[in-house]
Structure formats: C-alpha cells, structure tokens
A = this chain, B = another copy of it.
Amino acid sequence: MPEVMQMIDSEVFMAFTTYATIVTLKMMFMSPLTAYFRLTRKAFSNPEDCRSGKTAEEKKKMLRSDPDVERVRRCHLNDLENIIPFIVIGLLYSLTGPDLHTAVLHFRIFVGARFFHTLAYVVPLPQPSRGLSWIVGVVTTLSMAYRILTAVLFL
C-alpha cells in the first residue's frame, strides 16, 4: 500500500465515496419500506406500535408476522450481510491505489447488482434472478479482497 496519502485524495476514492453513499442510502431505504408493509398489512412486533387498533382485541391481532413484511426484512438483512463487506473491502481496496477504470467498474457492477437484488427479492422475480444478482455482488467483493491481499498482506 505505497503512497496512500496521494491515493486518498484521488478519483478512485471519490468514486468509492459516491457509490458507497448511494448503496448505503439504498440499504437505509429498506427501513421505511418495512414500515410501509407493517402499516398496510397491519402486522407489528411491538404492542406499543398497534395504535391504529381501537379495541384491546384488535391491537392484539396486529401482533403477528406477515409474509410481505418478513420478505422485506430478509432483504434488509441480506443487504447488511453483503453491502457492509463491500464497504469495508471497497474502502481498503481504494487505498491500495487500484487502476481508476478497474475500480469504478467494480463499484458500478456491485451497486447495480444490489439494486437488482432488492427488486428481485421484493417483487419477487422468479429465481435464479435473485440468486445470480447475489453471486455477482459476492464475486465483485471477492475480487477486491484478492487485490487487497496481494497488494498489502501483512500478517
């Protein structure tokens, strides 16, 4: 990792900053989407959230799990499991001074794959569309990790 100082003020780091912010905003969007499905499906986890129920009976019925809510929650958890490793590895990768075009290609493919993954999960699209978009994201992250370990390895 030579000359990190020059790198951090580079176009690669600016590109990483842009794509990392966009994909993090996409991940954050899953929270209001969950809230939307909870409100429309009337399916909550906390008794204090069932305020739209008029009677105690009605409130209690709202404490249930709903397939659509659970689907969005699984999609959100999958985002945490995949987008966070991308951000960690992408940040460190950006500091190893990679070629700008190679780096931007990695970021674009990953972010595109994760947007498609969310679409495939929430709609849902028939498999293997979700599975493939997940694999594309994983392979992109692994490719950056390979570059890090060959450029930096210090055990």
Residues of A in contact with B (beta carbons under 8 Å apart): 1-5, 8-9, 11, 13-15, 17-22, 24-25, 27-28, 30-31, 45-46, 48-49, 51, 70-71, 74, 76-77, 80-82, 84-85, 87-89, 92, 95-96, 124-127, 130, 134, 138, 141-142, 145, 148-149, 152-155
Contacts and interface: CB of A to CB of B under 8 A. Distances in A.
Contacts of A89: 21, 24
A70 B142 CA distance: 25
19 contacts: A1-B17, A8-B95, A17-B92, A19-B155, A20-B88, A21-B88, A21-B92, A21-B145, A22-B149, A28-B138, A30-B81, A31-B82, A45-B70, A48-B124, A48-B125, A48-B130, A49-B127, A77-B77, A87-B88
Given A1-B13, A18-B149, A149-B18, A45 B24 contact: no
A127 B1 contact: no
A48 B127 contact: yes
Given A8-B5, A15-B154, A145-B25, A124 B46 contact: yes
Contacts of A46: 71, 74, 124
Contact of A18 (B11, B82, B142, B154): B154
B1 A5 contact: no
A76 B81 contact: yes
- Highest count of chain B CB atoms <10 Å: which of A3, A48, A80, A142: A48
